[in-house]
Amino acid sequence: MEQNYNETELQLEYIKKCKELLGARSDIRPVYRIQNEGCQMNSLQTETVAGILDQMGFARTEKEEEADVVLYNTCTVRENANQKIYGHLGYLKGIKKAKPHMKIVLFGCMMQEEHVIDTIRRSYPFVDLVFGTHNSFKFPELFYAMLNSDSQIIDIWKESDRIVEGLPSARKYSFKTGVNIMFGCNNFCSYCIVPYVRGREKSREPQAILREIEQLAGEGVTEIMLLGQNVNSYGKTLGTPVTFAALLKEVEKIDGIRRIRFMTSHPKDLSDELIQVMAESKKICHHLHLPMQSGSSRILKVMNRHYDKEQYLELVRKIREAVPDISLTSDIIVGFPGETEEDFLDTMDVVEKSRFDTAFTFIYSKRTGTPAARMENQVPEDVIKDRFARLLSLVQEQGRTQSARFTGTVQEVLFEEENREPGLLTGRTQHNLIVHVPGSKELIGQYRQVRLDTCKGFYYFGHLV
């Protein structure tokens, strides 16, 4: 995989050029507003763009009305995510009329769709800069071009195998962050747009990942989340293949890192080796997000998931046997085309047997550009709503029972932020359970032993031990 360090130097040079240009134009510090939509990989990219703007000399605001530059990192997993962005643009049009100098930037997954670009050209000519997922590393260069142009700039790549590293980042937390280990997806689930907008799988070299984590640890980061559309297939595209389990073993050796998380795991690629590494690790958190999507073997085949009901349940059995206190979470789709009551009852059966701590439940909605959107036998809306309500009730009941199993125990909590209620801090256990504890903000970023006193369904109240 090509890793272009000259490209990094080029983009760092463009950051300097933008800073000089902005400084020459005004003595007033420019302000930006950035909004992130979608997954944790998007969040990481948003932090990179924010870090670049910070280095250019911008200040940050949460109000579009105050901003000289407004940026949206877009998601396109569901159709309504696109409509949300168009709604934002309608609102910004009025602001830009009053502030003609304001720049509007759109980037991310939604921009990889041709019909979206056509719509922006036709209906939103006041948008200044548009780029996608494959050339996001070019943001400083594109931003410089935008500052020197009065025309709309659209720069979309259909594919790329380039991985450009070493750009700035404005992390939300100083003590925890995500680390991309791979990009793209090769699975082509029939309902999912991601492979079409993120491209094919490409893994970062393990040495580059480890180098980044070592640097983060040196800066005070103690918890990392390894990110990819399917981390379990990490390393297959490398010149010298490396398994995800082998990468985890190396990450565990890095001094200063106390917690390792990862997502997302595809069941078809979750190996016995990975389960063993999780069981033996002192740092990998006992939380696994394992999207099921459906409990029906027939529907799973149409979804192109490459596993069946029995294989999923066997995976759950192996994981629970190796890591008895594992917190298991999942994603489930209700109302996939052709889903019968029998198929739905299979899903309910898997939920009952898997004992998820929580599951993110979604009503199927057509995603233009995917095979499922063209399928016949779309399930009637009233049937879907009934099934969704039944599933949600089971998931919530089960989640309350599962989460409550830690009541009265002492768990290590990493405090993340102040709660909206004064004097209360919020943190997480290694099982990804949220805990609210009375304490001062000096504890933020620290690990403390906490007794979990009261379970409130999906979160706890506790006290320091």
Mean pLDDT estimate for the chain: 94
Tell me the H-state helices in 5-78: 5-25, 40-56
Q: Which amino acid is at 2?
A: E
**What is the full DSSP assignment across 375-441?**
-S-PPPHHHHHHHHHHHHHHHHHHHHHHHGGGTT-EEEEEEEEE-SSTTEEEEE-TT--EEEEE--G
Fold observed for domain 173-285:
Transcription Regulator spoIIAA (3.30.750)
> Angle at Cα 126 formed by Cα 91 and Cα 104, nearest 5°?
70
Closest by alpha carbon to 163, among 129, 130, 207, 193? 207
Q: Are 323 and 279 in contact (CB under 8 A)?
A: yes
So what's the pLDDT on residue 4?
A: 54
Q: How many CB atoms lie within 10 A of CB 428?
A: 22
Fold observed for domain 407-464:
OB fold (Dihydrolipoamide Acetyltransferase, E2P) (2.40.50)
Q: Does 2 score more than 90 pLDDT?
A: no
pLDDT digits (tens, 9 = 90+) for 98-128: 999 999 999 999 999 999 999 999 999 999 9
pLDDT digits (tens, 9 = 90+) for 322-370: 999 999 999 999 999 999 999 999 999 999 999 999 999 999 988 888 9
Q: Which pair of structure tokens corresponds to residue 346?
A: 């299979």
Residues 6 or more apart in contact with residue 400 via CB below 8 angstroms: 455, 457, 458
Q: Does 76 score more than 70 pLDDT?
A: yes
Q: Does 3 score more than 70 pLDDT?
A: no
Helix (H) or strand (E) holding 453: strand 447-455
Residues 6 or more apart in contact with residue 161 via CB below 8 angstroms: 1, 2, 202
Confidence of residue 1 (pLDDT cuts 50, 70, 90): very low
Sequence ranges of the domains in the chain:
5-155, 173-285, 298-406, 407-464
Arithmetic mean of pLDDT, 161-187: 91
Is 5-155 in CATH node 3.40.605.10?
A: no
pLDDT digits (tens, 9 = 90+) for 267-284: 999 999 999 999 999 999
Do domains 173-285 and 298-406 share one topology? The answer is yes
Fold observed for domain 298-406:
Transcription Regulator spoIIAA (3.30.750)
Distance between CA atoms of residues 315 and 318, nearest Å: 5
Percentage of the chain surpassing pLDDT 70?
Answer: 99
Predicted TM-score of the model (pTM): 0.89
The secondary structure of residue 445, as a DSSP letter, is T
Distance between CA atoms of residues 223 and 232, nearest Å: 20
Arithmetic mean of pLDDT, 432-458: 95
So what's the pLDDT on residue 303?
A: 97
So what's the pLDDT on residue 437?
A: 97
Q: In what order do the strands lie in the sheet with 223-227?
A: 176-180, 223-227, 259-263
pLDDT digits (tens, 9 = 90+) for 221-230: 999 999 999 9
